[in-house]
């Protein structure tokens, strides 16, 4: 057992020495008393030698015995909650633990110690979860960031980290956050979502997925575009599952989120600068290095800066089959984003030359969005077909057209094939993948 856990236990001991306000003063009083007695009874030398799971079992048994042998004015549910909360605070992340155990929660948003929101099944809702005060919340933040070798304080008030389950963690504290420490946690399911799941959810019909599957297998360069929380990473995971298992895949991310299932994967992650402003490793650095690692595919979690230049150049020089995501609201906006990112990195390059680079490198843009009812859907699959004058020309192959909202608030609409046969059909045929003509007469109401 590490010294970090001992520090955590002692920190919890200090916090429970002074009473705090609560919805149930009696419950909090009992919890503080039992918590203090448990801490006083711990042999810290023995704690340091005990595996975490074994320690958790011992502490739970001790606490349960203490609760059962006392005449506490609590019912059975409150007694179980009492044991859970004390253990969560000593060994886990305190009030966050019940939220992290719920697989249906996709986002946790903490706006100060008394205001916690979650996103569940696509809907944002306020919870009853509360931290005791700013100091309690700061202790949980410190616990998370110190586990990955980071720190957060007034001189470094913003921090990114990753939880043990892979969830993405961001915190910003006063003086930048005016209402107290603010935390955002993006959760990722332990069981990857599959293409069949997307079909069942109504996110992407089977005919559209069949086209995407053929494009991935045929090594088209594909960008997934969408807003925050629209499902870009989920779709990227599904599409990456179509990559044949014999290929060498290199992934590049700011925070590791992808859950690829192939056997030959190299995962790279960017690194922020240290307190002296040194040691930063950017996505662009990793893209350049990945090109020296004999990749069959490069998957870039998100393109947001000058790495767009190196990624497009790689696509244009034999590294086909690359996948990436970009923040944009439409497929045309995605092209504009690429123009802007390349222009910032290569300011002397003419607009037409930038667009030619984009048109030569990219084959397809897939647009996804989160709709008003919380569902995520593929709104368009758009092929990039070349240049016409100074303009990058595209054609929509599939689109989702929203028809309205029903009485239950669910978005209704129709997935439609535009009837246009893609330019890349010949390339797929050369790889043994023939697209049925029925795909281009496809319609489905949802």
pLDDT by residue (tens digit) across 331-387? Answer: 999 999 999 999 988 888 899 999 999 999 999 999 999 998 889 999 999 999 999
Beta strands in 279-390 (DSSP E): 297-300, 323-327, 364-370, 376-388
Distances 344 to 103, 248, 315, 354 between C-alpha atoms, Å: 40, 31, 19, 11
Query: Which residues touch 64 (CB under 8 Å, ≥6 apart)?
Result: 83
Residue at token pair 């956050």: 177
**Count of beta carbons in the 10 Å neighbourhood of residue 334:** 26
CA–CA dist 169, 166 (Å, integer)? 9
Mean pLDDT of the chain: 85
Do the beta carbons of residue 366 and residue 389 sit within 8 Å? no
CA–CA dist 346, 294 (Å, integer)? 26
Choose between 185 and 21: higher pLDDT.
185
Length of the chain measured in residues = 446
Lowest mean pLDDT among 115-124, 159-168, 389-398: 159-168
pLDDT at 163: 84
SS3 of 94, please?
helix
The whole-number average pLDDT for the span 385-410 is 94
pLDDT tens column, 22-69: 346 777 677 677 766 666 666 555 555 566 676 667 777 777 777 777
Task: Tell me which residue of 220, 266, 264 sits closest to 246, measured CA to CA.
Answer: 264
Which band of pLDDT confidence, cut at 50, 70 and 90, is reported for residue 14?
Answer: very low
Q: Cα-flanking dihedrals φ and ψ of residue 44, to 5°?
A: -65, -30
**Cα radius of gyration (the chain):** 26
Beta strands in 140-190 (DSSP E): 158-162, 168-172, 182-186
pLDDT at 36: 66
Compute CA 149 distance to the chain's CA centroid, rounded to the nearest angstrom.
20
80 pLDDT higher than 80: no
Do the beta carbons of residue 251 and residue 301 sit within 8 Å? yes
**Count of beta carbons in the 10 Å neighbourhood of residue 234:** 23
Percent of the chain beyond pLDDT 70?
A: 86
Show the tokens assigned to 145: 């960031």
Sheet holding 249-253, edge to edge: 265-269, 249-253, 297-300, 323-327, 222-226, 364-370, 376-388, 391-405, 411-417, 443-445
pLDDT at 16: 42
Query: Which residues touch 291 (CB under 8 Å, ≥6 apart)?
Result: 298, 310, 314, 319
Lowest mean pLDDT among 80-94, 125-139, 405-419: 80-94
Q: What angle separates helix 76-91 from helix 3-15, to the nearest 10 degrees?
A: 130
389 pLDDT higher than 50: yes
Which band of pLDDT confidence, cut at 50, 70 and 90, is reported for residue 236?
Answer: very high
Where would I find the H helices in 370-440?
A: 425-430
Is-above-0.85 flag for pTM?
Answer: no
Instruction: Give 187's Cβ-side CA count (13 Å radius).
Output: 21
Please classify residue 426 by burial: count the beta carbons closer than 10 Å to its beta carbon, then call 0-12 exposed, 13-18 middle and 19+ buried.
exposed
Convert 177-206 to b/e letters by CB count within 10 Å (16 or more is b): beebbbbbbbbbeeebbebeebeeebbbbe
Q: Cα-flanking dihedrals φ and ψ of residue 183, to 5°?
A: -130, 140
CA–CA dist 409, 372 (Å, integer)? 8
Show the tokens assigned to 296: 């069959």
Where would I find the H helices in 253-306?
A: 283-290
């Amino acid at each position: 057992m590490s010294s970090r856990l001992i520090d955590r236990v002692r920190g919890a001991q200090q916090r429970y020495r002074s009473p705090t306000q609560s919805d149930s003063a009696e419950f909090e009083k009992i919890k503080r008393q039992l918590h203090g007695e448990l801490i006083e009874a711990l042999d810290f030398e023995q704690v340091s030698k005990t595996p975490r799971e074994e320690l958790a079992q011992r502490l739970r048994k001790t606490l349960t015995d203490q609760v059962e042998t006392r005449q506490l004015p609590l019912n059975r549910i409150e007694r179980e909650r009492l044991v859970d909360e004390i253990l969560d605070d000593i060994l886990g992340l305190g009030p966050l633990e019940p939220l992290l155990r719920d697989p249906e929660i996709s986002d946790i948003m903490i706006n100060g110690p008394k205001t916690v929101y979650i996103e569940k099944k696509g809907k944002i809702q306020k919870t009853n979860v509360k931290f005791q005060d700013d100091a309690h919340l700061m202790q949980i933040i410190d616990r998370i960031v110190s586990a990955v070798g980071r720190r957060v304080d007034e001189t470094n008030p913003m921090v990114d980290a990753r939880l043990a389950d892979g969830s993405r963690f961001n915190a910003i504290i006063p003086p930048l956050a005016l209402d107290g420490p603010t935390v955002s946690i993006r959760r990722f399911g332990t069981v990857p979502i599959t293409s069949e799941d997307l079909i069942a959810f109504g996110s992407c019909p089977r005919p559209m997925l069949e086209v995407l599957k053929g494009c991935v297998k045929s090594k088209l360069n594909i960008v997934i575009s969408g807003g925050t929380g629209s499902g870009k990473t989920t779709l990227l995971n599904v599409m990456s599952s179509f990559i044949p298992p014999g290929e060498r895949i290199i992934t590049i991310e700011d925070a590791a989120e992808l859950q690829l299932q192939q056997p030959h994967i190299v995962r790279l992650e960017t690194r922020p600068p240290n307190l002296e402003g040194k040691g930063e490793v950017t996505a662009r650095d990793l893209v350049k290095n990945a090109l020296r690692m004999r990749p069959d595919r490069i998957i870039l979690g998100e393109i947001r800066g000058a790495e767009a230049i190196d990624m497009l150049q790689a696509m244009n020089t034999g590294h086909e089959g690359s996948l990436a995501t970009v923040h944009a609201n439409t497929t045309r906006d995605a092209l504009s984003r690429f123009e802007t990112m390349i222009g910032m990195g290569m300011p002397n390059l003419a607009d037409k030359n930038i667009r030619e680079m984009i048109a030569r490198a990219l084959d397809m843009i897939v647009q996804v969005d989160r709709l008003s009812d919380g569902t995520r859907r593929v709104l368009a699959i758009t092929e990039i077909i070349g240049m016409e004058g100074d303009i990058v020309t595209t054609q929509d192959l599939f689109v989702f057209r929203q028809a309205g909202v029903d009485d239950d608030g669910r978005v209704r609409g129709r997935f439609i094939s535009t009837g246009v046969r893609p330019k890349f059909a010949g390339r797929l045929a050369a790889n043994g993948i023939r697209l049925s003509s029925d795909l281009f007469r496809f319609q489905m109401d949802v």
